[in-house]
Amino acid sequence: MGGVWLVVPLIAGVAGVLVFFLGLGHLFNGRPVTGSGHFLAGAPLAIGGFALALLGVNTQTYTRLTHEGPVAEVSVKAIDPATSRYAVTIHRLDGSNLTQVCNLQGDDWVLSGRVQKWKAWAQVLGLDATYSLNQVTNMYSSAARGNSKQITACDIAGPPPAVNQYVPDGWLAWLQGHAYTVDRKFGDANYMPMADGASYKVVITQSGFNSEPDNDVARKANEAAG
């Protein structure tokens, strides 16, 4: 539906240009009245059509840039609050429907992965930022608190896409590199505090991962950590 706001004004703009040049033809052929009429009709139609098309492009660009897609639901259960040990459950929302429990020790859970961002014109066409999850690990509220503490982490990469077995290594990267659609690839991580009963939702935006509290326990923990 969004494409209508781009295609229709463009058609109107092109039609306006054709009418405008048709008016020029009438003037050169000695028909000033008919030519003036085409000028008066064609010029506003062309200007208005292209202006609306530009507005449509800007609107679509903004819509794609603010797009969010679900990545995972994260829930936290205390194992031993005295030693800051928690069971963190990651339920993926990317279609794989995988659920994994990771025992972490610390103040925050950190979800990390790789993100591929597309150029703005490719986003307008419907290409959203793509990603692959890497791991969930722990973090402490300060460097001083984290010094000499152990790192706890779990691999949540999951199996590679089934299509990979049919595509030779390097082909997709070569095609993307020569299609000039990829803006950049980068590692990204997002974290939130661990608290017994806290629930969070992780989404992917055109700029990377974003986590947000999904219940009162998580909201209170996030506000306290702020």
Model-wide pTM > 0.85: no
By 3-state DSSP, what share of the chain in percent is helix, strand and coil, each rounded to 5?
A: 40, 35, 25
Which residue carries 């300060």 as its tokens?
142
Choose among 32, 76, 24, 33: nearest CA to 198.
Answer: 76
Helix boundaries (H) for the chain: 4-28, 32-65, 120-124, 143-146, 171-179, 216-225
pLDDT tens-place values along the chain, 226 residues long: 444 444 555 555 555 556 555 655 655 566 665 655 555 555 565 555 555 554 454 444 444 445 678 899 999 999 998 999 999 999 998 777 889 999 999 999 999 998 877 676 655 566 666 788 899 999 998 998 888 888 899 999 866 655 556 556 665 666 556 555 555 677 889 999 999 999 999 998 877 899 999 999 999 999 998 6
> What pairing do the DSSP bridges indicate for beta strands 85-92 and 199-205?
unpaired
- Predicted confidence at residue 2, as pLDDT, reads 44
Look up residue 138 and give its two tokens: 């722990």
H or E element that contains 7? helix 4-28
Look up residue 31 and give its two tokens: 């028909």
- Predicted confidence at residue 60, as pLDDT, reads 44
